[in-house]
Structure 1
């Protein structure tokens, strides 16, 4: 390799790295929660204490007779590091809520008390409840402890057993607090002195709230001041997007009562999938539409099929793509990597594929710069699923894809470009494919005539009814060729003579017909109508 090429590769690596850093905000970036001038991004709840801005600090002032009041962030935070400075009137108690909730309506909270006995507590509307990091006087020695405000209403972790931590807070000065929340672990520091280290997983995210403690009618007014409030938050105070979840899949497939796969999709038996390959698109469409699912069919117009004579049949795994939006895509990528997903987002659905699956994607019909896969990902798809794809999008490396034995594809066009200005938004959600709807867990039947998406709970019904129709047609065609009946007799309602002839034909040819024996026995059941 010559030196010019080496220098070019090094330069390219730096360019790619710069794109990566530009696309995702760094986790160690501090963000101010208070601009030093206004209370924008905050709102008061639970009580009527007064909050104002003075000399670059938030000043909370007690109001006689008011219960505990909280100035809460509009955003909710999960894992984060929070730092602030606080100055407290020596006659007042305060605190900072973390991962806390604002009750939208009255609720009864049931929990286990410290004695192991069941307890319950009523939480009124607009009440702030959850973890509270204590801010108290130097004499009390409880600053930095963690209390469960208005919920379990007892101390979860206390500084009382640590003399150094109990003395960390100083009256009459600004005190620096640091709070770290990661998973179920919450740690606190005051003036760089470690205070408590709590493991508690009751709440994983919520608002941050600055408390002004309630006082009696004859006391006060007292004040507490906060300044330099800043946070490092992995989620930027925005609830992470849901990439894939079982709940949505269950909502799409509520009619299914059989076994399910790990991701929640119905596990339609392999035997049904194999028999589905012999079902005609017209028969499947007729049965599914008749069952109340009119938007189940997409015709072949505007599609390219790699091998039109070969059916694609399998359990549908869906993926939804949209035009790229840098802010939302950053959240998607961050959440995906936090979930352990690897590489570019267009590879994530492929990693979820199981044998018998068909990867169905909506990429809004984009072909140039909309090529969801090339031959590398095509090989990965076939290795995982043993099946093909249906993409309302483009593909690239067409010759390489055609070289994958057993792989088939429906797509909008081929183009040598790479995937650009496109982002994955969700996996296993209902998606639009042309003019029809595909749901995760459907069974797809794609032949040269078109595509039918069959709800899982109808799959066996489609197969059995289609097999019955196929046998009826085989019998009718044979008898027409033999000249035994007229077209009018076969196309109309069968007479008792033809019915008995059909039954005899089934019995005679039972072991030769391309239908399972139990299906034929079901047709022979005198209670079953088959014509």
Structure 2
């Protein structure tokens, strides 16, 4: 056999040793397959509109009634890429990672760590009956005696930048990397948050309906080795 025939085999063996980074789209552009909704007010009144829809190839959170679109699967050690924009009036929304017990906070939010998408605050962490640490904790979270993970406590950990968001109407590219007990967030190429010692290492992923309409054109997950 000629030596060059060995090259593809050697290359494949190298890739096998390194491991493949498997990327999966969590949104197929047509349906909400792989997700389910938890909308408390919709349970009480079935005549209310459904707040998560597919429109023109985009996953859209209409904002109200408020609640969550939750992945059917749990994930651990991954990189999540989300492209989103506020098409109209800016407002509040977020991506929740390591989500588990539903309605653990204010009868609405699942136990999780939120990566904030709220206009002018994108990249903040919000602790929702889970916790995470960052450097300069008191500067970014406030007095230590106020910290907590339940109602009435200081659950917000401010991000690292003030100008990483695109102008309203333009697409933002957010990357959330969850590896062991670390969570790192980039927004439009800027490092906007990095936490460690998270109290959860795996769970579901959730998108919020929290008052403002938000369009998502990409929700992709790459499994990390």
Q: TM-score, normalised by structure 1?
A: 0.33
Corresponding position: 1:37 with 2:30: yes
Deviation (angstroms), 1:210: 0.7
Which consecutive unaligned segments of at least 5 residues does structure 1 have?
108-121, 216-221, 235-337, 339-531
CA distance in 1, matches of 2:174, 2:93: 13
Q: Which has the larger Rg?
A: 1
Map 1:450-465 → 2, pairs under 5 A:
none
Render the CA deviation track for 1:440-466: whole Å, top value 9, x for unaligned. xxxxxxxxxxxxxxxxxxxxxxxxxxx
SS across alignment from 2:202: coil
Corresponding position: 1:69 with 2:67: yes
Compute the RMSD of aligned alpha carbons: 3.1
Alignment correspondent of 1:132: 114
Give every structure 1 segment of 4 or more consecutive aligned residues whose post-TM-superposition deviation is greater than 6 Å.
22-25
Corresponding position: 1:223 with 2:213: yes
SS across alignment from 1:97: strand
Alignment correspondent of 1:143: 122
SS across alignment from 2:200: coil
Alignment correspondent of 2:158: 158
Deviation (angstroms), 1:233: 1.2
Alignment correspondent of 1:174: 171
Alignment correspondent of 1:90: 89
Q: TM-score, normalised by structure 2?
A: 0.73
Deviation (angstroms), 1:91: 4.3
Deviation (angstroms), 1:24: 9.7
Relative distance call for 1:192 and 1:24 in structure 2 (3 A) is closer
Alignment correspondent of 1:328: none
Alignment correspondent of 2:205: 208
Which of 1 and 2 has higher RCO (CA within 8 Å, sep 6+)? Answer: 2
Higher helix share: 1
CA distance in 1, matches of 2:124, 2:187: 10
Render the CA deviation track for 1:59-90: whole Å, top value 9, x for unaligned. 11133xx4x41111111111111111111243
Deviation (angstroms), 1:156: 5.3
Relative distance call for 1:96 and 1:203 in structure 2 (3 A) is same
Deviation (angstroms), 1:20: 8.0
Deviation (angstroms), 1:167: 1.6
Render the CA deviation track for 1:322-355: whole Å, top value 9, x for unaligned. xxxxxxxxxxxxxxxx7xxxxxxxxxxxxxxxxx
8 Å contact 1:46–1:127 — kept in the other structure?
no
8 Å contact 1:46–1:128 — kept in the other structure?
no
Equivalent residue for 1:197, pick from 186, 190, 194: 194
8 Å contact 1:132–1:148 — kept in the other structure?
yes
Relative distance call for 1:128 and 1:192 in structure 2 (3 A) is same
SS across alignment from 2:68: strand
Relative distance call for 1:184 and 1:22 in structure 2 (3 A) is closer
CA distance in 2, matches of 1:36, 1:97: 21
Relative distance call for 1:21 and 1:166 in structure 2 (3 A) is same
Alignment correspondent of 2:45: none
8 Å contact 1:90–1:137 — kept in the other structure?
no
Render the CA deviation track for 1:88-121: whole Å, top value 9, x for unaligned. 2434200001111143xx87xxxxxxxxxxxxxx
8 Å contact 2:109–2:128 — kept in the other structure?
no
Render the CA deviation track for 1:118-172: whole Å, top value 9, x for unaligned. xxxx675x8522111101113xxx211111135514445312xx4xx22211322
8 Å contact 1:186–1:197 — kept in the other structure?
yes
Render the CA deviation track for 1:393-433: whole Å, top value 9, x for unaligned. xxxxxxxxxxxxxxxxxxxxxxxxxxxxxxxxxxxxxxxxx
